[in-house]
Amino acid sequence: MALLVSVESKRRGFTLTASFEAPTPGITVLFGPSGCGKTTLLNAIAGLSRADRVRVELNGEALHRLPPHRRRIGMVFQEGQLFPHMSVERNLVYGLHRAPKDTRKGLDRGRGLLLAPEIADLLDLQHLRRRRPHNLSGGERQRVAIGRALLSQPRLLLMDEPLASLDAARKAEILPYLQRLRDVMRMPVIYVTHAPDEAYRLADYLVLLEGGQVIAAGPMTDLVSRVDLPLAGRDDASAVLLGYLHSHEADRGLSAIACGGQVYMVPLCDVAPGTAVRLRVPAREVILALEAPRNISVNNVIAGVVCAVRQDVTTHAVLVELDVGGGQIVARVTMDAAERLRLRPGVQVLALIKAMGVELLSG
């Protein structure tokens, strides 16, 4: 099953030519700087704006041949766009009224929230149902907006930078709900952002946009660590590894995460063994060595093979992409270090990573 998108649009001096095919279900993140065409592409998919050519197929069905109101596409915007005169419950019921009649489950006198407890529980909305939007925090408003979109019974959910207007604390509040949405609902989602941390936490598939064109598309874990793509060149460049909680070593204050054939130690966490997790490994936290060091504080000594090397002339640094078995990581080292270690594709190295430098993203 797949989502296929192809859009061409030329408006006011800006040309968008973008095509990609992403697996479903899962979250496809459209990532790129402001003005690269992310929202234009999203609106074309939803049928909210005209394009010179558009093709949108979801699991073989041509959505672009349907009028927008029949595509069953849910939308969540930067600002929740809730009705200010309605309570949370009535805002949610509005979403349920937009659902096709054959998908409604016994709609009874407008008590829509109570008829969809799974969504209310998923987004923790029950205690908010009598409030008005002006009495909600930014994160709460966005949760209500997501719930309203889900109650419309969409086949595809589009989210246009839903966290862009929130401060760091509110982002941290709502991200776990989006992770839960990804893991529980198993719905095709296209999520627009220019924030790498959101892509690291949420994306299954990543589409990188620049100047109105797709420069790369593929599994998120593959693209974020490629040294020939923009993410690896950022100051906050990181790799993301998929794994599971292997075990806890409470006496050492550590937890073991299995990723492919490697085990990474992280600070002791409250996650059940066997739980699927993501690890973020910042490039600045990776030290490279040709031989195993002795008597050091680093808990993770990971064997890898150099895949690619690229010099970043603006920072006088060298980006090194490593295959570590079951995933790729990226290291940023000085030009001097790269020459001394003679880093070239095929060279075997050890990646030294502090346990405190590895971030557990989800569990």
Residues present in the chain in total: 363
Half-sphere exposure for 331 (CA within 13 Å, toward CB): 26
Final residue before a domain boundary, out of 198, 233, 268? 233
Closest CA to 100 of 155, 45, 58, 44: 155
Each residue of 225-262: pLDDT tens digit?
999 999 998 989 999 999 999 999 999 999 999 998 89
Residues 167 and 244 in one domain: no
CATH of the domain at 126: 3.40.50.300
Task: Give dist(CA 130, CA 226) in Å, integer.
Answer: 48
Residues 244 and 229 in one domain: no
- Which H or E element spans position 118? helix 117-123
Domain count, the chain: 2
Residues 14 and 135 in one domain: yes
Residues 213 and 331 in one domain: no
Q: Can you tell me whether residue 100 is helix, strand or coil?
A: coil
Residues 196 and 334 in one domain: no
DSSP letter for each residue of 139-153: HHHHHHHHHHHHHT-
Final residue before a domain boundary, out of 187, 215, 233? 233
Each residue of 77-119: pLDDT tens digit?
877 688 888 888 888 877 777 777 665 554 444 444 444 667 8
Task: Give dist(CA 60, CA 56) in Å, integer.
Answer: 9
Task: Give dist(CA 89, CA 128) in Å, integer.
Answer: 8
Tens digits of pLDDT across the chain (363 residues): 899 999 999 988 899 999 999 999 999 999 999 999 999 999 999 999 889 999 999 999 999 999 998 899 999 987 768 888 888 888 887 777 777 766 555 444 444 444 466 787 888 888 888 888 888 888 888 888 888 888 888 899 999 999 988 888 888 888 888 888 888 878 899 999 999 999 999 999 999 999 999 999 999 999 999 999 999 989 899 999 999 999 999 999 999 999 988 999 999 999 999 999 999 999 999 999 999 998 999 999 999 999 999 998 778 899 999 999 989 999 999 999 999 999 999 999 999 999 999 999 874
Global model pTM greater than 0.85: yes
Task: Give dist(CA 45, CA 276) in Å, integer.
Answer: 31
End-to-end CA distance of the chain: 26
Range of the structural domain that residue 204 is part of: 2-233
CATH of the domain at 278: 2.40.50.100
Q: Which residue has the tokens 């996650």?
A: 271
Task: Give dist(CA 220, CA 162) in Å, integer.
Answer: 19
Residues 68 and 89 in one domain: yes
Residues 268 and 147 in one domain: no
Final residue before a domain boundary, out of 233, 248, 275? 233
pLDDT of residue 284: 94
Residues 304 and 163 in one domain: no
Residues 81 and 97 in one domain: yes
Residues 255 and 168 in one domain: no
Residues 204 and 256 in one domain: no
Closest CA to 105 of 93, 121, 123: 93
Task: Give dist(CA 106, CA 104) in Å, integer.
Answer: 6
Residues 121 and 263 in one domain: no
Closest CA to 286 of 222, 237, 227, 335: 237
Structure tokens given for 21: 């095919």
